Amino acid sequence: MIVDNGRSRLLARPEFREALACIRCGACLNTCPVYRRSGGHSYGAVIPGPIGSVLEPARDPATHVELPHACTLCGSCSEVCPVKIPLHRQLLAFRSVLAEAGLHPRRRRLAFDLAAALFVRPRLYRFTTALGRQLARELPTRLVEMLAGPWTRQRALPPIPSESFRAQWRRARTTGKE
């Protein structure tokens, strides 16, 4: 048995073959807004960033199902790649491949369902976000970070504002400070 870390799977699929040309220069990492904000440790993968979000799910799809979904699909990784790997298209294609295989990010469906329920009920949305801001400021930082998810293990959350953006915007408009 030859250990190829999923490269045979990439080679077998024409839409992913180009990822095998990666020279590990790091250009995609340096331009990726998600990687720049979160850093490499939050990927939980040997190869972080956009190229890792293609290579790692090919190696172990069930473990790395979240990685292709972390991308904003802005395309900056594809633009700076010296070997012209279309990473943003590959990440989008990988989302479809994983969905066809029945692999979905675990919490994503629940999160989208909850968000949809809140977005169609403005009063409930305002109440929930106000309550969330209040709790986030009063709960111990460690507990808030634990509730925020695995990405906060390596990164600190920004300070929680005392009022919503909407309230700040409304106040600025009434005082003429836009």
Residues in CB range of 128: below 8 A, 6 or more apart: 118
Q: 139 and 67: one domain? A: no
CB neighbours of residue 168 within 10 Å: 12
User: Where is pLDDT greater, at 40 or 62?
Assistant: 62
Among 122, 26, 120, residue whose Cα is nearest residue 77: 26
Report pLDDT digits (tens) over 93-109.
999 998 888 887 766 77
The pLDDT tens digits for 13-32 are 999 999 999 999 999 999 99
User: What's the pLDDT score for residue 138?
Assistant: 87
Residue 45 lies in a domain: yes
Domain boundary among 69, 100, 131: 100
Q: What is the mean pLDDT of residues 86-99?
A: 93
> What's the pLDDT at 177?
66
Q: What is the mean pLDDT of residues 132-155?
A: 79
Cα angle value 105/111/114 (rounded, 5°): 150
- C-alpha distances (whole Å) from 159 to each of 72, 107, 145 are 24, 24, 12
pLDDT at residue 78 in the model: 96
**End-of-domain residue from the set 83, 100, 117:** 100
In a domain, 1, yes or no: no
| Widest distance between CA atoms in the chain | 71
Residue 154: inside a domain, yes or no?
yes
Between CA 178 and CA 166 the distance in angstroms is 13
The domain containing residue 69 runs over which residues?
7-100
The tally of domains found in the chain comes to 2
Backbone φ, ψ for residue 154 (5° rounding)? -110, -10
Tell which of 100, 119, 142 closes a domain. 100
13 and 94, same structural domain? yes
First to last CA, the chain: 65
Residue 64 has pLDDT above 80, yes or no: yes
The DSSP secondary structure of 88-140, one letter per residue, reads HHHHHHHHHHHHHTT---TTHHHHHHHHHHHHT-HHHHHHHHHHHHHHHHHS-
Name the pLDDT band for 178 (thresholds 50, 70, 90).
low
Burial class (CB in 10 A: 0-12, 13-18, 19+), 145: middle
User: What pLDDT score was predicted for residue 75?
Assistant: 96
Helical (H) or strand (E) element with 7: helix 7-12
Indicate if the pLDDT at residue 1 is higher than 60. no
Do 82 and 27 contact (CB within 8 A), yes or no?
yes
